[in-house]
Chain A
Amino acid sequence: MKRVYLDYAATTPLDKRVLEAMLPYFSQKFGNPSSIHLWGQEAKKAVEEAREKVAQILNCLPEEIYFTGTTTTSDNLAIQGVMRALKNQGKNHLITSAVEHHAVLDTCKALEKEGFTLTILPVDKYGMVNPADLEKAITPQTGLVTIMYANNEVGTVEPIEEMAKKVPSSKFQVQSLFFHTDAAAVAEYLSLDVKKLGVDLLSLGAHKFHGPKGVGILYVRKGTPIFPLTFGGHHESGLWPGTEAVPLIVGAAKALEIAQKERRKASEKISKLCGKLIEGILNRIPGNQLTGHPQNRLPDIASFVFEGVEGEAILLALSDKGIAASSGSACTSGILEPSHVLTAMGIPSELSHGSIRFSLGKETTEKDVGYVLEVLPEIINRLRKMAPKL
């Protein structure tokens, strides 16, 4: 059977060049970077070179780069770490948006339960945060703003640069107010220059850009107060202690290097294919709409809501045809609630139950897109026929 993977926003395959770079560090150069002997120093060198590579791409200092476990770890470290460090300074307020990944949203809510004050900014129908809303929400007690670079479900790119600039120039002229962004969805398509973005902290996870699973990256601008969440050693300057995952770190740096080098080429190719998919679905299937911003969106995300069909049933039928996609429907969430992103965008639950996200990657071909356009109308039509008329 034909197999078409269109769930690259969930995870990507490891790039062969990345695998090659990683291989020596499993059994040949296996040393512990903390050891001072030859074996250790060889591993240490690999980790530090990886850090330099990442720093170069992010336009920051190597000591501002921390390797962690996953994007979720990076988000937790950034949000909890900064808020706990600022607590002594009387800062107990943080701001986020309603469309964040659970790694951010749940972390913020956990802090709220502990006694911190949380403001969740609304979004417009495209999932976009209004920078003016952020400005209004900032108080003298605000310590951290955390807003995603781009949304993983609907692809909307948030005005990070504009918002990050508002933080230091806000009406309170607040010192010690920091801006974090979860950039998990963007590494293969957008600039990660932290100076240009104006952010103080930025999270990444390697498996979203053809790197290995199990390694995250956190940028923390020098001078940002941050506490560790776990303890046990000097690794990663004590912020994320534990023996470094050398092969994964090497892989993460290599993958980021490739992703950023090939970013323009990939964006161009993928946005063309994605455009075709979006146009094809909108034209060939009645009763559906594109979710997310029509222009300011990631080039790889084609997300829709279909009237009168349920997302999991679509996924099952697609899977039977060899196609992988994902859905924000309640039935696929495990908690029987529709996607918080679609809800925040004002999409009624009847519609968000029928949400489908296709996410493309650099391996996607014109044939893949053609195949989806060939089978999807039939699937939607069949499922709609199965439904009772209301």
Chain B
Amino acid sequence: MGFQGFYSKKVLDHIRRPRNMGEIKNPDGVATVGNSVCGDIMRLYIKVKKKKARPPAGGEKGKGVEYIDDIKFQTLGCGAAIATSSMITTMVKGKPLVEAEKISEQAIAETLGGLPPVKFHCSVLAAEALKKAIENYRKKKVK
């Protein structure tokens, strides 16, 4: 009951049964976005592995492709913040980094069956969290 008119079925499903929720110990990349003043805080953890050039795109022969082996989220926020962070984890798990980082806020919102306009910024936050987690991984690698 309740909230059906406001949130799509998929959003409600992700709020009720968040996927990949929790923490990864010793992650390869991590990022926290948002702030407690605005109300929503998201943190994404990623584990990155290399595969031989089997994945569909982006892999050069012999070089191996970096992909997201595992991803987890922690979120303090409203229903949409929980749903977008849960959704992005399912969208990018197992995907090459070069593909994952291209995921847009529109794509997240669409995959969730749409978001109320006032909640669209939550999908922006989720996309930003992933980009920053990948960035964090690359920076660590350079060191």
Instruction: Mark A residues whose CB is within 8 Å of B.
Output: 1, 3, 308-313, 316, 319-320, 322, 324, 329-332, 334, 336, 338, 349-350, 353, 386-390
Which residue of B has the minimal Cβ distance to A330? B39
In the assembled complex, which residues on chain A have CB atoms less than 8 Å from the CB atom of B118? 334, 336
In the assembled complex, which residues on chain A have CB atoms less than 8 Å from the CB atom of B12? 316
Q: Determine chain B's interface SS by DSSP, over half rule.
A: mixed
Which residue of the partner chain, among B3, B39, B80, B82, contacts A353 with CB atoms under 8 Å?
B39
7 contacts between A and B (CB under 8 A): A316-B15, A319-B1, A322-B1, A334-B118, A353-B36, A386-B75, A388-B75
Tally inter-chain residue pairs, CB-CB below 8 A.
Answer: 78
Given A310-B39, A313-B77, A388-B76: 9 more A-B contacts, CB < 8 Å = A310-B76, A310-B77, A316-B3, A329-B78, A330-B39, A336-B118, A349-B36, A386-B76, A387-B41
A317 smallest CB distance to B (angstroms): 8
Would B38 and A386 count as touching, CB distance under 8 A?
Answer: no
In the assembled complex, which residues on chain A have CB atoms less than 8 Å from the CB atom of B42? 388
Would A386 and B18 count as touching, CB distance under 8 A?
Answer: yes
Which residue of B has the minimal Cβ distance to A353? B39
A338→B1 CA distance, assembly (Å): 25
Which residue of the partner chain, among A1, A319, A320, A386, contacts B74 with CB atoms under 8 Å?
A386
A312→B77 CA distance, assembly (Å): 8
A320→B15 CA distance, assembly (Å): 11
A390→B79 CA distance, assembly (Å): 20
Q: How large is the interface on B (under 10, 10 to 19, 20 to 34, 35 or more residues)?
A: 20 to 34
Would B36 and A350 count as touching, CB distance under 8 A?
Answer: yes
A255 smallest CB distance to B (angstroms): 26
In the assembled complex, which residues on chain A have CB atoms less than 8 Å from the CB atom of B119? 331
Would A313 and B1 count as touching, CB distance under 8 A?
Answer: no
Would A390 and B36 count as touching, CB distance under 8 A?
Answer: yes
Residues from 34 to 80 in B contacting A, C-beta threshold 8 Å: 36-43, 74-80
Would A309 and B78 count as touching, CB distance under 8 A?
Answer: no
Which residue of the partner chain, among B21, B74, B82, contacts A313 with CB atoms under 8 Å?
B82
Which residue of the partner chain, among B16, B36, B79, B121, contacts A312 with CB atoms under 8 Å?
B79
Cβ of B81 < 8 Å from any Cβ of A?
A: yes
Decide: A331 near B39, CB < 8 A? Known: A336-B118, A386-B74.
yes
Decide: A319 near B2, CB < 8 A? Known: A313-B79, A386-B21, A388-B41.
yes
A350→B40 CA distance, assembly (Å): 10
Would B78 and A313 count as touching, CB distance under 8 A?
Answer: yes
In the assembled complex, which residues on chain B have CB atoms less than 8 Å from the CB atom of A387? 41, 74-76
Would A310 and B78 count as touching, CB distance under 8 A?
Answer: yes
A45 smallest CB distance to B (angstroms): 42
Which residue of A has the minimal Cβ distance to B4? A319
